[in-house]
Amino acid sequence: MTYDSLIPVIRRLAIEAGEKIMEIYNSDDFDVKVKSDDSPVTAADEAADALISAGLRAAFPDMMLVTEEQAESHKAKGDTFLIVDPLDGTKEFINRRGDFTVNIALVEAGVPTRGVVYAPARERMFFTLADGSSVEEAGPFDAAAMGATSPIRVADSDNAALMVVASKSHRDQATDDYIGKYNVKDSKSAGSSLKFCLVATGEADIYPRVGRTMEWDTAAGHAVLLGAGGQVVRFDDHTPLKYGKEGFANPFFIAFAPAVELKEA
């Protein structure tokens, strides 16, 4: 596998999965089940997972694959692998709020180096190019041919007037307490991995996450942010957030533009 061969595949699969998701999203009704960890899952999660998994295994049969919806894959061991969240923001999907994303990433030596984040209801798509830089593609999105892209870059943040983005479904007092340490011009809420992308485009300066996430929730957005010049660090000691951890659970973290002067937890 090369980066040149990877990027068209993950971009295409994200768009095709997005089409499946939107068919179900726009239907009159869909069933919601509850997984063993009490998180919701829908037919859209399952259909997108099946499509992406089959596509990745066909294109890259020798690459380890970890995906949220296949528990067997969570037993995989290694620090280099493909990782998928076929529908991040299931609660946003169920409540028809639109802030859900398709996420596919490559992790190498514990670092997400390439990835795609597609928000079909928002008609926004962000991904890394083969050279590692990040772009946003303008719609309409054609799975067979890449459209016009624009390079994205983090903001040159003003620490006297920061824009903060935080979770729409999981914001709590601990998050608000941490945000209160900064000089905040304004804040916005967003669902799913879109928060990473808003930092990557300079629409926000910092995204603190004081709550549970898994590596499949964050890897693709993390890759896009790295490609736009941003960083993601652990909340407790500000060391880089690593991947391939036992059980694939993340610690709390902060995603930010490097000009932001980070505060201690």
As a whole number of angstroms, the distance between CA 169 and CA 149 comes to 30
DSSP string computed for 33-80: EE-TTS-EEEHHHHHHHHHHHHHHHHH-TTS-EEETT-GGGGG---S-
CATH 3.90.1280.10 is held by the domain 162-256:
no
As a whole number of angstroms, the distance between CA 44 and CA 163 comes to 33
How many CB atoms neighbour CB 58 within 10 A? 9
Predicted pLDDT at 40: 65
248, 214 Cβ separation under 8 angstroms: yes
Residue with tokens 């945000």: 179
Q: Helix (H, G, I), strand (E, B), or coil: what is residue 93?
A: helix
As a whole number of angstroms, the distance between CA 25 and CA 119 comes to 13
Output the pTM of the full model. Answer: 0.93
Taking only the tens of pLDDT, the chain with its 265 residues reads 899 999 999 999 999 999 999 998 888 777 766 665 656 667 888 899 999 999 999 999 999 999 988 878 778 778 899 999 999 987 788 778 888 999 999 999 999 999 999 999 999 999 999 999 999 999 899 999 999 999 999 999 999 999 999 876 666 788 889 999 999 999 988 888 999 999 999 999 999 999 889 999 999 999 999 999 999 999 999 999 999 998 999 999 999 999 999 999 8
Predicted pLDDT at 38: 58
Here the contacts of 46-50 (C-beta below 8 Å, separation 24 or greater) are 47/17, 47/20, 47/21, 48/17, 48/18, 48/20, 48/21, 48/86, 48/87, 48/102, 49/84, 49/86, 49/87
Indicate the residue type of 70.
Q
Q: Give domain limits for the chain.
A: 3-151, 162-256
Q: Out of 3.30.70.590, 3.30.420.10, 3.30.160.100, 3.30.540.10, which CATH number does the structure's domain 3-151 have? A: 3.30.540.10
As a whole number of angstroms, the distance between CA 180 and CA 226 comes to 25
Q: Using omega within 30 degrees of 0 as the cis cutoff, is the peptide bond preceding 140 cis?
A: yes
Predicted pLDDT at 42: 75
102, 87 Cβ separation under 8 angstroms: yes
Burial zone of 5 (CB within 10 Å; 0-12 exposed, 13-18 middle, 19+ buried): exposed
Predicted pLDDT at 89: 84
254, 235 Cβ separation under 8 angstroms: yes
